[in-house]
């Protein structure tokens, strides 16, 4: 059995206990689902006539218009929140104390205030001064929702971008300063691109939150998807009951599909970023114009010496030394008993008697 630092591998009794708890929990959840289905059946929410309302063209058009209104608010608020987040993150990292304090105070204030209160306050403010605001006053609920989502999510995105900038290695920043770049140039060319790429999954996850927060528009009577579902559920009567459950199930499924689509986009971008090839591509080395010819003959491979080869080499060396010694002795005429030559043809010695030593 293997165990990690934070988790001990369960033993036989613990595994049996975990299986029992799993079975009991699954049966409990299944029982709740069955109970809910029976209750809905008793209330008449599962009758075919109740679900047949979605075959009505008016109901489908109402859901389509609410969905388009939701996507319109999300698109505008998402883009503006990203822009505001970049601006606030740069302001919070500024060297000027006044700018840094203002950005910090703005972020902390609107992150602490609930989003619903911000949206409602903006709606009341726009309604109060709608004559002075002109075009914005005509779409007070739309702009209140957009501005509220932009302010809140922009503050959150600012903290995300600031974390990404602080995660950039300090050596790259110092290298940029060593090259003579100003702080704005270092921020734009070095820190921000890396911060956005590193924090892109978190940014998209916050955009998913922005999409879900568009449902708060029903509080200020903005005709988005949830407000359209609430209107249909309250105005349609089938078998003497309002079809609240079918409408909630269908609208909830639409929200789930949209959020899953954005989450899948975040996962795809993260995987694509991890597979991206970074760095400078080095060109392949080119072949030389003419191959250099260093050796005319092929060189035999070097074989490491063995004991037999060393013995043979020593024997050859000793033989060569003996041969050279014999040749040297024979040249002075003392070793082989012959007289040295005078350069001409040698004459055979005459037969002369030995001298008389007594004389």
pLDDT single digits (tens) 304-358: 556 566 566 667 767 767 666 555 544 444 444 444 444 444 455 555 555 554 4
Name which residue leads in pLDDT, 273 or 219: 219
- Can you give the pLDDT at residue 295? 47
- Go through 7-29 and write b for each residue having 16 or more CB atoms within 10 A of its CB, e for each that does not: eeeeeeeeeeeeeeeeeeeeeee
- Can you give the pLDDT at residue 333? 47
Please report how many Cα atoms fall inside a 13 Å half-sphere around the Cα of residue 283, on the Cβ side.
3
Q: Is the pLDDT of residue 155 over 90?
A: yes
Backbone angles phi, psi at 290, to 5 degrees: -140, 125
Distance from C-alpha of 153 to C-alpha of 118, rounded to nearest angstrom? 12
Distance from C-alpha of 137 to C-alpha of 130, rounded to nearest angstrom? 4
Q: Show Cβ contacts of residue 106 under 8 Å, excluding neighbours closer than 6 positions.
A: 88, 155
pTM: 0.67
Name which residue leads in pLDDT, 72 or 169: 72
- With beta carbons less than 8 A apart as the criterion, state whether 168 and 151 touch: no
Q: Pull the structure tokens for residue 211.
A: 């999409």
Distance from C-alpha of 140 to C-alpha of 220, rounded to nearest angstrom? 9
- Can you give the pLDDT at residue 102? 93
Question: How would residue 289 be classed by pLDDT, with cut points 50, 70 and 90?
Answer: low
224 burial type by CB count under 10 A (0-12 exposed, 13-18 middle, 19+ buried): buried
Vertex 46: Cα angle to 40 and 50 (nearest 5): 125
pLDDT single digits (tens) 161-214: 888 888 888 888 888 888 888 877 888 888 888 888 878 888 888 999 999 999
Q: Is the pLDDT of residue 300 over 60?
A: no
Q: Pull the structure tokens for residue 131.
A: 């004559």
Distance from C-alpha of 266 to C-alpha of 285, rounded to nearest angstrom? 39
65 burial type by CB count under 10 A (0-12 exposed, 13-18 middle, 19+ buried): middle
């Amino acid at each position: 059995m293997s165990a990690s630092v934070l988790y001990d591998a369960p033993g036989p009794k613990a595994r049996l206990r975990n299986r029992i708890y799993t079975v009991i929990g699954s049966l409990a959840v299944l029982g709740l689902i069955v109970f809910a289905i029976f209750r809905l059946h008793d209330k008449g929410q599962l009758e075919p006539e109740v679900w047949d309302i979605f075959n009505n063209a008016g109901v489908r058009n109402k859901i389509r218009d609410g969905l388009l209104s939701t996507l319109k608010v999300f698109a505008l608020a998402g883009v503006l929140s990203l822009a505001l987040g970049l601006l606030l993150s740069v302001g919070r990292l500024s060297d000027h104390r006044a700018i840094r304090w203002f950005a910090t105070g703005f972020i902390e204030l609107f992150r602490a205030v609930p989003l619903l209160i911000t949206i409602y306050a903006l709606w009341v403010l726009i309604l109060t001064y709608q004559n002075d605001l002109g075009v914005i006053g005509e779409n007070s609920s739309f702009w209140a929702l957009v501005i509220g989502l932009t302010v809140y999510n922009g503050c959150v995105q600012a903290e995300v971008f600031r974390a990404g900038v602080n995660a950039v290695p300090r050596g790259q920043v110092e290298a940029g300063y060593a090259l003579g770049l100003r702080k704005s140039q270092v921020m734009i060319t070095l820190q921000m691109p890396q911060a956005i790429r590193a924090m892109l999954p978190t940014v998209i996850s916050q955009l998913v939150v922005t999409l879900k927060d568009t449902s708060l528009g029903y509080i200020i009577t903005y005709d988005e998807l949830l407000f359209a579902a609430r209107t249909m559920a309250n105005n349609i009567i089938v078998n003497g009951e309002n079809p609240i459950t079918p409408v909630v199930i269908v609208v909830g499924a639409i929200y789930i599909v949209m959020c899953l689509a954005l989450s899948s986009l975040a996962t795809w971008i993260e995987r694509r970023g991890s597979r991206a090839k970074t760095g400078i591509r080095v060109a392949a080395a080119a072949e030389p114009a003419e191959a250099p010819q260093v050796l005319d003959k092929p060189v035999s491979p070097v074989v490491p010496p063995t004991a037999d080869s060393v013995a043979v080499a020593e024997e050859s060396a000793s033989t060569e030394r003996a041969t050279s010694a014999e040749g040297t002795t024979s040249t002075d005429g003392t070793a082989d008993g012959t007289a040295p030559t005078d350069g001409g043809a040698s004459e055979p010695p005459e037969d002369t008697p030995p001298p008389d030593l007594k004389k």
